[in-house]
Structure 1
Amino acid sequence: MKKFLTLGLALVATSAAAQSLTGAGASFPYPLYSKMFAEYKSVGGVDINYQSVGSGAGQKAITERTVDFAASDNPMSDDAMKGAPAKLLHIPTAIGAVVPSYNLPGVTAPLKFTGKVLADIYLGKIRTWNDKAIAALNPGVTIPPLPITVARRSDGSGTTYVFSDYLSKVSTEWKSKVGVGNSLQWPVGTGAKGNDGVAGVVKSTPGAIGYVELVYAKQNKLPYGSVQNRAGKFIVADNGPAALAAKGVVIPADTRVSLTNSANADAYPIASFTYVIFYQDQKYGSRTQAQAQQLKKLLTWMVTSGQQYNEPLDYAKLPDNVASKAKTIINTLTFGGTKI
């Protein structure tokens, strides 16, 4: 009897583990993942506990194997993945846009920005809103002479990576002095945690500017500017222009690629895939095959049926060729070396 009771408890524990998965990382896709995971619970019966702690923290968590999956707006580098105990895989789940949101009382017309102006603001070279460089881009707009309060991320952030990746492509001074990364040595600015933190600073501070994922600007009713793309057009972020950032881009087999400063004439220039990161072989620690199978089902759903939730929440859907590559990657998952 005792033997059967022990076996029963073990089966219950395995079943419970299989009915829940844990993830952590980027705040960039958090509004989308909140919706996706709520919907998935209703169709798959699995609880997904996702913590929006920033891409850097997500990458650290998956490296340390404290989560089932991580989320990051930038793919991990080869060097970063060397710190993991086994092979990591990436799949994109959506395309998002990073926008320059601002708080300028009395200004109702959307402002225009170039990459150079944004770089100079974040380098601390442009310090007031009525600077001639901003005024020249916005003729006819009366801009108050407020000092610019620069808002930026204080945590390890994929949104920061995307923004700095773009600035490094359009400003040689930014590239040489600051560079690209999840965490930077900022020349100026007030730090805040998460996209929601930066949006909060902008919303509460007249004269502030901050880079946030599009949905955070919309949710907080913050104005955001158009940005000049490589073709010279000023583009307002939206699903279509964000999706066009991936059009014509050669997507490698592992899907790790930058979409910023796209050559597409109608693309929004500060756009990026957002990624889920996980181990190819799922047998480690106390993980069960049931957990591995649940993760595979979740990931497959996210790049297929789950894509229906992208556009209503202001994220672009994956192009068909990218979704196909993601499914191919998911299908390489193993448990103890055997495909699941």
Structure 2
Amino acid sequence: MAMRNWRAKTAAIAAVSALALVSACGSDDNGNDDGKGNGGGDAGDGTTLSGSLTGAGATFPNPLFQEWIAEYSENVQPGVTINYQSIGSGGGVEQFLGETVDFGSSEEYLDDEELGIASDGRGCEAVQFPVVFGSVVIAFNDPALDGMVLTSEAIAKIYDREITNYSDDELRELNPDMDLPDQEILPVHRSDGSGTTFVFSHYLNTEVPAWAEKYGEGKEIEWAEGTLGGDGNEGVSQNIAQNPGGLGYVNQSYALELGMATAHVVNSDGNAVEPTLEATTAASEEAEIPENFQFTIDGIGGDGYPISGTNWIFTYACGYEDNTAEILKDFWTWAMSSDEADELATELGYAPLGPDLKERVLEQIERTNNEG
């Protein structure tokens, strides 16, 4: 399957969706309230759906979401259009709780307080489920640094501006066979409310006591002076590429698409692990996933890459028009059950959910609009 140019498509869809963002309850009912799309919940029944969805949130899965949307709209349900705005996890949660989109997306699950806000506002429970795993990589401006080994302590010191040069003794000790340049490090971070920042800061928060005491974790962090902010994974990638000495954390798929040099990060077993699909899958398999799907991926060892995260989708158990609900359930069921969706994920460096977890997620998807 030929890979589309997702970056160009993202720009086009963002421009359209900025003008077309509508509320979850504002879609037209086209009379297909019992329909299921091919490849969806009742794959192959021949029923056609038509209509539109709007979603907003994480930039982390945006390359994959644009491919999923294109494949679904072109080859599964051509009558359906889906506009996904890559605005960051913080914006996605805000838009979802404000009921201005049909679904939200974040790399941090909705906590109990946010679930309460959703329930109070909508009059029914929010539904949340994971759809894909991915790695947050440390990317470099300099191709010669590809494969540079970093520990959680070294990464924390770089972002705290305690380590400011690639020739620092601590970095040289970690990389005795690499000719490290005498070059100032410019750490780049997300300037928007970001699930990628949550994954990154949660990793440092659990691994480095000094980081936990000074910075903690969250979608937004009070960064040290001397660091540079970028809007979205796109903005961080651009700032890394355009600034000598640039170093930053981005979703692996952005680094792959741009051909960026990336670090090998030491995990809890002391193994310096390259951020490959296999290493992301190994990390995801160590996650303990409760019934409410509120979990993080911590303490990764073995062959697992240690900075790994999850993307969640949010819908509601009531309040949608029937046609909107059917499209929502059909699209996400297709994404969780079709070989094409898994192939697109692996091509972009994301790890699909395992079979047992997919079964649990499919049951959760069916809760969408079931109270209404």
Report sequence identity in percent.
32
From the superposition, tell whether residues 290 and 225 of structure 1 become closer, same or farther in structure 2 (CA, over 3 Å).
Answer: same
What is the aligned partner in structure 2 of residue 223 from structure 1? 261
Q: Cα distance, 1:325 vs. partner?
A: 1.3
The counterpart of 1:288, out of the listed 321, 325, 342, is 321
SS where residue 165 of structure 2 aligns?
A: coil
Name the counterpart of 2:56: 24
Match of 2:347 among 287, 290, 312: 312
Aligned residues: 320
**1:256 to partner: Cα distance:** 1.9
**What is the identity, as a one-letter code, of the residue corresponding to 1:207?**
G
TM-score by length of 1: 0.90
**SS of structure 2 residue aligned to 1:82:** helix
Q: Cα RMSD over matched residues?
A: 1.7
User: How far apart, in 2, do the equivalents of 1:220 and 1:275 lie?
Assistant: 25
Aligned to 2:211: 174
1:152-301 aligned at under 5 Å gives the runs 152-188=189-225, 189-262=227-300, 264-281=301-318, 283=319, 287-301=320-334
Q: For residue 323 of structure 1, report the CA deviation from its aligned partner.
A: 0.8
Mean CA deviation greater in 237-246 or 72-81: 72-81
The within-5 A match list for 1:93-132 is 93-104=131-142, 107=144, 109-132=146-169
Q: Is the 8 A contact 2:146 2:261 kept in 1?
A: no
Quote the offset at 1:166 in angstroms: 0.3
Task: Give the residue type in structure 1 aligned to 2:328.
Answer: L
Question: Aligned equivalents of 2:322 and 2:281: distance in 1?
Answer: 36
For structure 2, the residue ranges without an aligned partner over 5 or more in a row are 1-26, 32-48
Equivalent pair of 1:55/1:158 in contact (CA under 8 Å) = yes
> What amino acid sits opposite 2:348 in the alignment?
L
- Verify the 8 A CA contact 2:140 2:261 in the aligned structure 1: yes
What one-letter code is carried by the residue in structure 1 that aligns with 2:69? Answer: F
2 CA distance for matches of 1:308 and 1:334?
A: 29
Q: Which runs of 5+ in 1 are unaligned?
A: 1-11
Shift of 1:143: 1.1
Partner of residue 101, structure 2: 67
C-alpha distance after superposition, 1:95-116 (max 9, x if no partner): 10000001236x2552000011
Cα distance between partner residues in 2 of 1:63 and 1:109: 41
For 1:21 and 1:47, locate their aligned partners in 2 and report how far apart those are by CA, in whole Å. Answer: 6
Residues in 2 aligned to 1:297 and 1:271: alpha-carbon distance in whole angstroms: 28
Q: Which amino acid aligns with 1:328?
A: E
Distance 1:41 1:151 in 2: 35
Deviations 1:192-224 (A, max 9, x none): 100010000000111111000011111122100
Amino acid at match of 1:314: G
- Counterparts of 1:302 and 1:260 in 2: how far apart (Å)? 26
Q: Is the Cα contact below 8 Å between 2:29 and 2:322 reproduced in 1?
A: no
Superposed CA deviations along residues 204-251 of structure 1, whole A, max 9, x for unmatched, are 111111000011111122100100001110000111110111224321
Question: In structure 2, do the counterparts of structure 1 residues 108 and 182 end up closer, same or farther at CA, with 3 Å as the change threshold?
Answer: closer
Cross-structure match for 1:141: 178
Cα displacement (A) at 1:18: 5.3
Per-residue CA shift, 1:61-95, capped at 9, x if unaligned?
Answer: 00000000011111122122222224212111111
Residues 20 and 113 of structure 1: CA distance in aligned 2, closer, same or farther (over 3 Å): same
**Residue equivalent to 2:11:** none
The reply to whether residue 36 of structure 1 matches residue 68 of structure 2 is yes
Select between 88-97 and 228-237 the one with higher mean Cα deviation: 88-97
SS of residue in 2 equivalent to 1:159: helix
Corresponding residue to 1:15 among 22, 27, 30? 30
Which residue of structure 2 aligns with residue 5 of structure 1?
none
2:336 paired residue number:
303
Q: Is 81-90 or 31-40 further displaced after alignment?
A: 81-90
- Tell me, what secondary structure is at the counterpart of 2:117? coil
Instruction: Work out whether residues 165 and 179 of structure 1, in 8 Å CA contact, stay in contact via their aligned partners in 2.
Output: yes
Bigger drift between 19-28 and 308-317 goes to: 308-317
- Sort the Cα spacing of 1:294 and 1:131 in 2 relative to 1 into closer, same or farther, 3 A: same
